[in-house]
């Protein structure tokens, strides 16, 4: 298995497109599976359409489901940080993408995204692993 840890700068964005990182990582690797893992307790991964307003809709959904206030028992960090620790239950920390001839087999409108409402951590680590057809 080939694996690489990369740094992703999310800044204040709640949704960050990871598709280019994954395409670069898979390029030239043949057939297999790309495992994407986010080793963080307050962020997750998803596959969704971008550029159609879906990012704003997802941000609004997260704000409705996990409001940023002081209702949470987990209270360190900025106000509402307890909600960040619940996010990975809804948006998982890992996913797999099939790869053929070094190309991730995402649908026409699909992108891999990092979902991260945690303003306390603007830089994330991302582990990409390739399980090739040997």
The sheet carrying 111-115 orders its strands as: 15-17, 111-115, 44-48
Bridge partner residues of 9 (DSSP): 123
Taking only the tens place, the pLDDT of each residue in 53-75 is 999 999 999 999 999 898 988 87
The tally of domains found in the chain comes to 1
* 47 DSSP assignment: E
Bridge partner residues of 61 (DSSP): none
Taking only the tens place, the pLDDT of each residue in 65-103 is 999 898 988 878 788 889 999 999 999 999 999 999 999
Which range of residues forms the domain containing residue 9?
Answer: 2-132
Q: What is the CATH number of the domain that holds 122?
A: 2.60.120.460
Taking only the tens place, the pLDDT of each residue in 15-59 is 999 999 999 999 999 999 999 999 999 999 999 999 999 999 999
Report pTM: 0.93
């Amino acid at each position: 298995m080939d694996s690489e840890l990369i740094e992703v700068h999310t800044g204040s964005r709640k949704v960050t497109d990871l598709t280019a990182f994954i395409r670069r990582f898979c390029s030239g690797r043949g057939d297999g599976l790309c495992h994407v893992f986010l080793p963080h307790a307050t962020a997750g991964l998803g596959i969704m359409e971008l550029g159609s307003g879906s990012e704003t809709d997802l941000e609004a959904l997260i704000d409705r489901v996990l409001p940023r206030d002081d209702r949470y028992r987990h209270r360190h960090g900025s106000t509402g940080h307890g909600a960040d620790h619940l996010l990975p239950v809804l948006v998982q920390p890992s996913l797999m993408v099939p790869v053929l001839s070094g190309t991730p087999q995402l649908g026409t409108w699909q992108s891999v995204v990092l979902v991260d409402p945690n303003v306390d951590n603007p830089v994330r680590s991302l582990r990409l692993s390739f399980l090739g057809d040997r």
